[in-house]
């Protein structure tokens, strides 16, 4: 016959109580660590936010283009070559961007582009070296610039020149040397009203961006189109 366990004195009772208390504290600590770990590494937690984007039709095909984000129209009207939309707020993350020509003949499959929260972008429709249309996107830095300076980023969007494009201040500093197709320069600043010169590398045809187009305190994206050294053209977008 098994005899029941009896607490014979206060000492035994205190030992058992102490053991149970320590076990409970240890269990609670492990449980808290486990919960904290789960929260820290929970794969279901998604960082949400908004980005901003504008789109530009930089394809020289004579077709107006509508642009779409996740199959919803992004531009209120179709854009002709050289036209730019306003900035639009969009959900951040991987988004599908596409376009359709108003002739209904130039529709892409979706292009997946990643948009980081709180970052501003410009997305261009361009013709690549094979003559096919594609979308390329660049971050815009809209942080303040000096009131007496123009802040500028340059992008070469013409596939016609293997040597790239040079841009310099008239009679002064060269800002880019042989900028390749689809490449963007770093931002640089020039005095408001300062003329810029540009040319295809190896060509004697030099063109001018008039300083009257570059105001102090403004931020610009300047992109280039053209099929020959004589027809290369600078397009100025005011970003702020």
Could you read off the pLDDT of 170-192 as tens digits, one per residue? 878 889 999 999 999 999 999 99
Give the total number of structural domains in the chain. Answer: 2
Owning domain of residue 237: 143-240
Please check whether residues 190 and 213 belong to one and the same domain: yes
Residue of higher predicted confidence among 106 and 215: 215
Mean pLDDT of the chain: 83
Residue 159: other Cβ atoms inside 10 A: 16
Q: Are 41 and 56 a contacting pair, CB within 8 Å?
A: no
Please check whether residues 128 and 164 belong to one and the same domain: no
Please check whether residues 127 and 162 belong to one and the same domain: no
Whether 112 maps to a domain, the answer reads yes
Please check whether residues 131 and 165 belong to one and the same domain: no
Please check whether residues 80 and 156 belong to one and the same domain: no
Q: What is the pLDDT of residue 192?
A: 95
Whether 16 has a pLDDT exceeding 60, the answer reads no
pLDDT bin (cut points 50, 70, 90) of residue 131 is confident
Q: What is the pLDDT of residue 107?
A: 57
The conformational region for residue 118 under phi > 0 = left, psi -120 to 50 = alpha, else beta, is: left
Q: What is the pLDDT of residue 41?
A: 37
* Gap between the Cα atoms of 59 and 63, Å rounded: 9
The residue to which tokens 């499959």 are assigned:
109
Q: What is the pLDDT of residue 63?
A: 87
Average pLDDT estimate for 42-67:
81
Whether 11 maps to a domain, the answer reads no
Q: What is the pLDDT of residue 62?
A: 76
Eight-state DSSP code of residue 211: G
Picking from 85, 119, 140, the residue at the C-terminal end of a domain is: 140
Contacts of 51 (CB under 8 A, 6+ apart): 89, 90, 91, 92, 115, 116, 117, 118, 119, 120, 121
* Gap between the Cα atoms of 126 and 40, Å rounded: 42
Whether 7 has a pLDDT exceeding 50, the answer reads no
């Amino acid at each position: 016959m098994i005899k029941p366990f009896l607490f014979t004195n206060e000492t035994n009772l205190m030992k058992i109580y102490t053991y149970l208390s320590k076990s409970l504290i240890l269990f609670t600590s492990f449980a808290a660590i486990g919960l904290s770990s789960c929260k820290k590494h929970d794969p279901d937690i998604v960082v949400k936010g908004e980005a901003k984007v504008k789109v530009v039709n930089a394809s020289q095909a004579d077709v107006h283009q509508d642009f779409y984000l996740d199959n919803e129209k992004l531009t209120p009207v179709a854009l002709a070559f050289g036209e730019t939309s306003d900035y639009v707020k969009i959900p951040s993350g991987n988004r599908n961007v596409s376009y359709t020509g108003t002739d209904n003949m130039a529709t892409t499959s979706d292009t997946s582009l990643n948009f980081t929260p709180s970052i501003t972008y410009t997305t261009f429709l361009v013709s690549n070296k094979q003559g096919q249309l594609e979308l390329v996107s660049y971050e815009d830095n809209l942080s303040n610039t000096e009131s007496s300076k123009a802040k500028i980023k340059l992008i070469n969007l013409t596939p016609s020149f293997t040597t790239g494009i040079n841009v310099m201040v008239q009679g002064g500093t060269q800002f880019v040397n042989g900028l390749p197709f689809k490449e963007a320069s770093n931002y640089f600043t020039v005095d408001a009203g300062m003329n810029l010169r540009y040319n295809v590398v190896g060509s004697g045809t030099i063109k001018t961006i008039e300083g009257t187009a570059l105001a102090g305190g403004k931020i610009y994206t300047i992109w280039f189109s053209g099929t020959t050294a004589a027809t290369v053209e600078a397009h100025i977008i005011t970003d702020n």
